[in-house]
């Protein structure tokens, strides 16, 4: 399968490239920047939602599954983007949001029976805090996220056929597959029973109020796999990567029909070799991991881990076996925007969504107008400045994309000094020092690349000059 070891680049369309000066990115803008992605060497792009939406959750509230929001362009722009991507050997993946629509989707008014209603709310919680129920016309509708995102009832056959129709629509237009949003919320307990109190940890971070409950009824209903089969039926062998918010030990029913699931244990691990190791060990116990370390919902690598460690994190992301998702901007070490912003997203995620920075101009080359969110220090962090600098993060990412093609299947975790994460992929090994102190390299042989100056004892920096953050890829190990 083409995606087995693919690097899939996440484009947040609103923030990638504006082509018409309105300060918001769009599809023609993405097309204009495809050469960057081809040069970088990724295999595919995943576009966060491009569908018509009132943008309460920036497109994750879909008002029409078979059109493009005018702010992003038109269907013709999508077709043109797919064709231009294809010319460069790139595939285009979309984001499908099957669990809820926008409150402005025509179904919500015309077909209320396609949603989940109750006379009285139970104790289920919205992912964004507070009850998952809002009152309308004397009854309550369920929303696992914002109130503007009513949950669909996947036990209603019209929901299934409507969604299948939408899924086919984009595959026929050339999409190579989907990232499937919030799929663990697809089906809930049909009796709407309260979630009982938690008796054991969930295994991934939750809000305090969510952590008090065992989230057994509000998600992951036993008939989920049957619904997933209908999604699979619609897309044939196109790629389906699930946003399954569960520890990997509980992925099994999802992977019956999806190709891969995001490895949230690793995404949430702190920068500590032993925790990273445990997450990799747990996740690779079975196939199906899609690696991701940052996206439009979580903090960027540089901000979470620091600039040097961010390079090491990227090294890890791109040397684990299986598909990897690289968030736009991480290839230049872009950081979060100013903290605490809630100008647009009530859940406070604006800061992970600042525009891509192409050059050192005030708007970073993103727009000729006023960007919807300002650039983050574009003079220091931009593509143009890093392109010809062999020590740059951009050069590191590009080199890693070449190097990863040499790595053998599977991964063997290695013993190493405290604070060092080490693993082997066939003849190559990766060593990552999270300790912040000098550590002996865990393996004999020549390091062909390092990423943190002085973090590991430096060996031979063949093909790669300049300071890299971490020890990488010794060869000729005995």
Binding residues for ligand NOJ (CB under 6 A): 57, 60, 97, 145, 181-182, 243, 296-297
Question: Least CB distance from residue 97 to ligand NOJ, whole Å?
Answer: 6
To 10 degrees, the CA torsion angle through 291, 295, 299, 300? 80
Query: How far out from the chain centre does Cα 220 lie?
Result: 20
Q: How far apart are CA 255 and CA 274, in angstroms?
A: 27
Q: Nearer Cβ to ligand NOJ, position 217 or 296? A: 296
Least separation in angstroms between CB 430 and ligand NOJ:
28
State yes or no: is 77 an active-site residue: no
SS3 93: strand
Nearer to ligand NOJ, 90 or 99 (CB): 99
Catalytic residue, chosen from 181, 195, 345, 350, is 181
For ligand NOJ, the closer of residues 352 and 423 by Cβ is: 352
* Shortest separation between residue 245's beta carbon and ligand NOJ, angstroms: 9
The answer to whether 127 touches 57, Cβ cutoff 8 Å, is: no
From the CB of 56, what's the least distance to ligand NOJ, in Å?
A: 10
In the complex, the smallest distance separating the C-beta of residue 296 from ligand NOJ, rounded to whole angstroms, is 6
Q: Between residues 31 and 61, which has the closer beta carbon with respect to ligand NOJ?
A: 61
Calpha distance 383→332 (Å, rounded): 6
Across the beta sheet with 133-136, the strand order is: 117-118, 139-142, 133-136
> Looking at 243, 265, 330, 399, which residue is catalytic?
243
Tokens representing 52 are 């018509």
Minimum separation from the CB atom of position 300 to ligand NOJ (A)? 15
Looking at beta carbons only, is 297 or 409 nearer to ligand NOJ? 297
Report the residue number, 292 or 470, with the smaller CB distance to ligand NOJ.
292
For residue 24, give the 3-state DSSP assignment.
Answer: coil
d(CA 103, CA 111): 12
Q: Are 9 and 348 in contact (CB under 8 A)?
A: no
Sheet of strand 412-414, all strands in order from the earlier edge strand to the far edge: 412-414, 420-425, 428-433, 472-475, 446-449
Is 341 annotated as catalytic?
no
Instruction: Round to the nearest angstrom and report the end-to-end CA distance of the chain.
Output: 32
Inter-axis angle of helices 157-172 and 224-235, nearest 10 = 30
Residues with catalytic function: 181, 243
């Amino acid at each position: 399968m083409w995606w087995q070891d693919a690097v899939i680049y996440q484009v947040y369309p609103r923030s990638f490239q504006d082509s018409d000066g309105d300060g918001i990115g769009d599809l023609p803008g993405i097309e204009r920047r495809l050469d960057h992605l081809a040069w970088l060497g990724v295999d595919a792009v995943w576009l966060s939602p491009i569908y018509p939406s009132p943008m309460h959750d920036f497109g994750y509230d879909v008002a029409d599954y078979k059109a493009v929001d005018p702010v992003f362009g038109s269907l013709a722009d999508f077709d043109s983007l797919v064709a231009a991507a294809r010319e460069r050997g790139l595939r285009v993946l979309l984001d499908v949001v099957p669990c809820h629509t926008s409150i402005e989707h025509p179904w919500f008014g015309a077909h209320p029976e396609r949603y989940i209603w109750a006379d009285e709310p139970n104790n289920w919680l919205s992912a964004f805090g507070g009850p998952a129920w809002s009152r309308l016309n004397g009854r309550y509708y369920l929303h696992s996220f914002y109130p503007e995102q009513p949950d669909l009832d996947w036990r209603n056959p019209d929901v299934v056929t409507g969604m299948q129709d939408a899924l086919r629509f984009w595959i026929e237009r050339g999409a190579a597959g989907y990232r499937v949003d919030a799929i663990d919320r697809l089906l809930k307990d049909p009796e709407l029973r309260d979630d009982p109190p938690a008796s054991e940890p969930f295994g991934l971070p939750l809000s305090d109020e969510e952590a008090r409950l065992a989230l057994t009824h509000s998600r992951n209903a036993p008939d989920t796999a049957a619904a997933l089969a209908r999604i699979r039926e619609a897309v044939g062998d196109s790629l389906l990567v699930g946003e399954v918010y569960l520890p990997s030990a509980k992925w099994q029913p999802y992977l019956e029909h999806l190709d891969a699931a995001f490895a949230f244990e690793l995404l949430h691990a702190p920068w500590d070799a032993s925790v990273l190791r445990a997450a990799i060990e747990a996740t690779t116990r079975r196939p199906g991991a899609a690696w991701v370390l940052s996206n439009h919902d979580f903090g960027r690598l540089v901000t979470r881990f620091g600039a040097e460690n961010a390079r090491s994190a990227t090294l890890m992301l791109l040397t684990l076996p299986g598909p990897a998702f690289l968030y736009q901007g991480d290839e230049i070490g872009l950081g979060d925007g100013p903290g605490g912003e809630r100008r647009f997203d009530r859940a406070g995620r604006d800061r992970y969504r600042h525009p891509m920075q192409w050059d050192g101009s005030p708007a970073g080359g993103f727009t000729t107008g006023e960007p919807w969110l300002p650039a983050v220090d574009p003079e220091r962090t931009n593509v143009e400045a890093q392109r010809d600098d062999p020590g740059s993060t951009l050069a590191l990412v590009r080199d890693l994309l070449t190097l990863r093609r040499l790595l053998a299947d599977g991964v063997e975790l290695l013993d190493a000094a405290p604070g060092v994460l080490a693993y082997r992929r066939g003849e190559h090994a990766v060593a990552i020092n999270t300790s912040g102190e000098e550590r002996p390299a865990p393996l004999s042989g020549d390091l062909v690349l390092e990423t943190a100056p002085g973090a590991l004892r430096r060996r031979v920096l063949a093909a790669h000059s300049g300071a890299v953050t971490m020890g990488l890829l010794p060869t000729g190990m005995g």
